[in-house]
Structures are given as C-alpha cells and as structure tokens.
Chain A
Amino acid sequence: MVRKIKKIGFYALLLLAALSFLYPFYWMILASLTPEQNIGTLGIVPQGITFEHYTGMIEKIPIWSALFNSVFVATLSTFGVIVFGSMTGYALAKMRFKGRNLLFYTIIFTMTLPFQITLIPNYILMVNFHWVDTLAALVVPSLNSAFAILLFRQAFMTIPDDLIHAAKVDGCGDLRIIFQILWPNIIPSIITVGILTFMTSWNDVLWPLIVIREEGLMTMPQLVTLFAVGGRSEAQLGVKLASAVLLALPIIIAYLFLQKYFIQSMASSGIKS
C-alpha cells in the first residue's frame, strides 16, 4: 500500500515536471494561432483560431529562403562532420604515424577554447577568403568538429584491428574500410554526431549574425532573432511566436523520429573508453 502511494506520488511529480516543460511549448503554438488581441489573456483554453500570424510573417520576411538556407547549411555541415569527422577519427584511432597523439591532444585542446576567442580570427579569415555574405562562410568552417573526431575515434578504437586487416586483405582501401566496413558497425555514434551537429548548426545565431548581412542568405534563427528582437515585427507578438514555432518545428520533428538515439547520445555523451 505504502509502495503504491509512493509510486503514485513519484509519477505525479514526474507529470508535474513534464507539464512545466511542455506548457511553454503548448502555449507558444497555441498563441501563434490565436488572434493578437487575445494573446494577452491566453491560458490553456484556445480563444479563437487564426493563421494570420503565419501569413503575416511570410509577407514581412523572406522566411522560405531562410528555411532553405538553414536546411542547406545544417544538412551540409552535418554531412561534412560525419564524413570528415569519421575520416579523422579513423586516422587517429587506427593508423600509425609520427605525432599522432600530439595531433589528437591538440584537437582535444581546441574543444576547451570558448567560441568567443576564435570568433574574431575566424571572421578575419572569412573576410580574407571573400566569403562574407556567402553560404560558404556558414558551411565550410563547420565541416568538421573536434567533438565528432573524438567521438568517432573512441568508436573506432573499440573495433578490433583484425577486422580492418581482413578488409585490407579482401581488397579494401582506407576509404572503403571507413564507409563500407566500419560505418555499419558504429551507427549509434553516427546518429549521435548527426543529431548534435544538426542541432548546433540549426540553432546557431551568433556566427551567422557576424558573417551574413544579406537577408536572402540569412538562416532561420538569425532572421527570426532580427525579426523578433530587431523590431521588424512591428511589435506583433503573434507573428514573433509564429516564427519561433517554425524555428522549433524541424528539431521537434527530428526528435520524434530519433528519440531513442537522442536519449542514448545524451545519456552517454558518446564517450566511453
């Protein structure tokens, strides 16, 4: 009996916590569909449904091109990080060469540098490359990441050398070994890297704000931020909320599909020795 009560209490607590997380989302979505004058008094119950905030948003800002830019940049850098990260990780885990460990520790070290420190040098680099106001400035610098390298290296370390030896004798080169032999055996790591990279890229505001000024090249979060904070919305709360919903939507959809891996990646952070 006591155990049952304890259990009920526990679940009630969990429910409360879940609701407190979900409520803002619910409210945001609901409010984005509620006429402007009702938003101020909106609680849990819908007070009229309208799509005018969405149509308003589409009229006022180039949201479709921003959506395209975001998808383009996030997809490309995710792809790049998975491909190049696993190549680097493979070299660090399975190839023998002078300075391998030094290289690895240097890469790890860069993870400890805060983004703010490299911001200005990176910007200057973009200027010198004439990449400012091009999507290259968003994509190229994020085609590999220290975190992904670390994660792939750890994953490859757990694969026995003989598997690679067998593949070499069978006629595989290093690239085929990585993509055809090793990849199928580290799928959870790939998905972890993929999700985290995509999210990081998708949510990034600061870097795009610095290197992109042309509206047509802006990413969603950048545009939405400018729109919401920068006053282009003419202080209409509903329109701001509509753009926020659009910003969150892809991540929510991705989460629903990849939930299992997402939790796994958060639980382990992917790092095991």
Chain B
Amino acid sequence: MANVKFEQVTKSYGKVQAIQPVSFEVKDKEFMVLVGPSGCGKSTLLRMIAGLEDITSGKISIDNTIVNDLSPKDRDISIVFQNYALYPHMTAYDNMAFGLKIRGLKKAEIKEKVMAAAKVLDIEDLLDRKPKAMSGGQRQRIAIGRAIVRNPKVFLFDEPLSNLDAQLRGQMRLEIASLHKRLEATMVYVTHDQVEAMTLGDRIIVLNKGVIQQIDTPQNLYNHPANKFVAGFIGSPTMNFIEGKVVDDNGIASFISNDGVIRIEVKDKIRDLEHTEVILGIRPEHIYSLPTNIDAPVKFTTTVKWTELLGHDGFAFFEINGVQISARLVAEELLNPPFERELYIDREKIHFFDKVSGVAIG
C-alpha cells in the first residue's frame, strides 16, 4: 500500500489546458474522493495516476517513486470504470484471472486469489457467466473483483456506481466503504455524486475547470467551504446565496441584503469590510421556523410562494433580492402556500464570500 503524490502536474489537450498545475498528496490507506461538475477534469486526473494519459508537466509519484514514465502495468494500480469495461468474450472468472495470467502466476495461485475475491464480493455463483448474461450491479461487482485480485498499491474508481439504480448505488456504496476498511488500501474515487463523496471520503478534492478548489474532510468542506463554488457544490440541496452590503446599521456593523429584508449583525473580519458588497451563504437546513434551539437567531419576514413536501419534512421557497431561496422545514409548516411568515437564520451558520472572487471571508 502506498501514497500518491502530485507535484505541479498539468495536462493540455492541444491548446486546451484541462488541468491547471495541481499538487496534492493522497496518504497511505486514505480514501480520497475527487468531485466536481462534468468536464472539470476528474477522469483526466485519475487516468494520469493510472498512466493511461500522459502528463504535460509536473511529477506524479506512487509509493514515493516517480511514475511519470512508467506504463500502466508497471504502476501497480487497478481501476474500476463507470461502464465496467469487462472483456465481453470472457467469463467472469477469466475477467478476474486475466491480469494474473499475464503476470505469469500459476494456475492454482490464480484460482485461489479469484475465489477469495469472489467470496468477498459474493459473486461465486456468477463466475461462469459472461458479462452479457449479468445485470449492471453484478457486472460492477466483477469489475471490482478484477481490481482487487491483484492486490495493487492503489485502487482507482471512475464513477463506478453512476450506471446503477439508486437503491443498488446505496448498497454498493456501503460495500465499497467496507472493502476499503477490510483491504486497508489507498483509494482514489471519482464521482459527481456528492452523497457518495461525503459518505465515502476520508478527504475530498473539489475540482472545477481543472483547478483544485479545496482539499479537506467532508465535515470541513461542509462547515468551512473555502469559496462560493465549494459552498454551492457540497451540500444538497445547494446553499442559498444572498447579495448585500456590510454597513453601519445604527452603530452596529451589519450585513443588509440588497432588498433590506435580511439584517444580520456581523463580527470579526467582516466588520472591516464596511461598504463593500459581499455574498451571504446560508444552507436551507439552517433556516428555521422557530427561534428555539438556535444560539443566535436572526428574524426576517417573507412570503413563502410554494412548497415541496418530502414526507417528514420539505422545502419552502421564497424570494430575497428577487432570487429564489429555499428553507428546509418540517412538513406541518409547509401546508397551503402562499403564506406570510417569520423565519429565523442561525447567525452561527452563515458564510460570507467576496462578491468578485468568491473567496470565503472570515
């Protein structure tokens, strides 16, 4: 098992720079998740670790050895793809055994390893089947089996669950998590599903347009997003953004939304930003219908235009600055819109971002 290190790595396709210089380290035995919107370069980054994509500049090392010039087979990695990429003409057994055969292992040894992996993944009764005769979930198990039989230094996953239905995805997610515990392996996992990212990752790299936005634990990304992009990307449903200004409100440094509906006293660094335009971020789950159980409630009044019920709770939608804002409230609060009501923001849970750069303030 081993670490993976990127030092100032870039990638260009012709004139298009898909990856700006990136540096990070995936520690030994760490489960690192790469998230970002479609086309941000996640797969490119993963394929560069695998050696399936040349790097334009920089250094990549695995287990403290520079692998820039090593071919995929010499990097001791394995990879699981979104569309499984099983060899269609081989049985599940042969799919898993193929890499071992090429590496010249003895038949008995191969069998032992394949059977062991099959047992872990509960696919023993599928081994004689060809991929065509299996369901998506079964195929992905075989593909994971193919990855673990070789016991590589690093496991790579490129959106392995996104072709599966929601229920199966949840189940496989748990299995991958337990696989990581059991194998104590270094894993790099690409996904655009932030639930997967939050639940699986020891740490998460948030990528946008080939630039790393933040690398941190799931909790820190949620509680302390480094910029507006991360704040909006992590958390579901997405964070609300309210534009406004920091002003002196009768001797109290305050944030006031452009339409004047929200007035919040500000502290620390934000105070120094008097007269500057900033963006306030507040998650839907941090807007409440009652001031109880909140340390620092801030009241405002608005008209809830419509609601969405999800059983136990749901969402109220209203407008601030003419922009749609959502709040997560219990179901009883959401009946018969539209209606006027008072809502409370928890001042401890708000974020501020620079209006121009989007960088978090305070």
Contacts and interface: CB of A to CB of B under 8 A. Distances in A.
Do chains A and B interact in one complex? yes
Given A169-B77, A169-B79, A171-B103, A163 B98 contact: no
Interface string A159-189: 0101101111111100010000100110000
A167 B88 CA distance: 12
B102 A166 contact: no
B24 interface: no
Contacts, number: 52
Contacts of B47: 165
B89 A185 contact: yes
Contacts of A181: 87
A165 B83 contact: no
Contact of A160 (B77, B78, B85, B102): B85
A171 B50 CA distance: 12
Contacts of A162: 81-83, 85
Contact of B98 (A170, A184, A185): A170
A170 B81 contact: no
A176 B87 CA distance: 13
Interface string B136-147: 000000000010
Interface residues of A, number: 15
B89 A169 contact: no
A176 B71 CA distance: 15
B72 A185 contact: no
Interface string A118-159: 000000000000000000000000000000000000000000
A163 B83 CA distance: 9
Contacts of B99: 169-171
B102 A169 contact: no
Interface residues of B, number: 23
A171 B102 contact: yes
B52 interface: yes
A46 B98 CA distance: 60
A169 B99 CA distance: 8
B49 to A, nearest CB: 11
Nearest to A172: B102
Interface in B90-105: 98-99, 102-103
B85 A165 contact: yes
B101 to A, nearest CB: 9
A168 B52 contact: yes
A181 B77 CA distance: 20
Contact of A166 (B71, B81, B89, B103): B81
Contacts of A184: 88-89
A168 B71 contact: yes
Given A165-B81, A166-B85, 5 more contacts: A162-B82, A167-B87, A169-B73, A170-B99, A181-B87
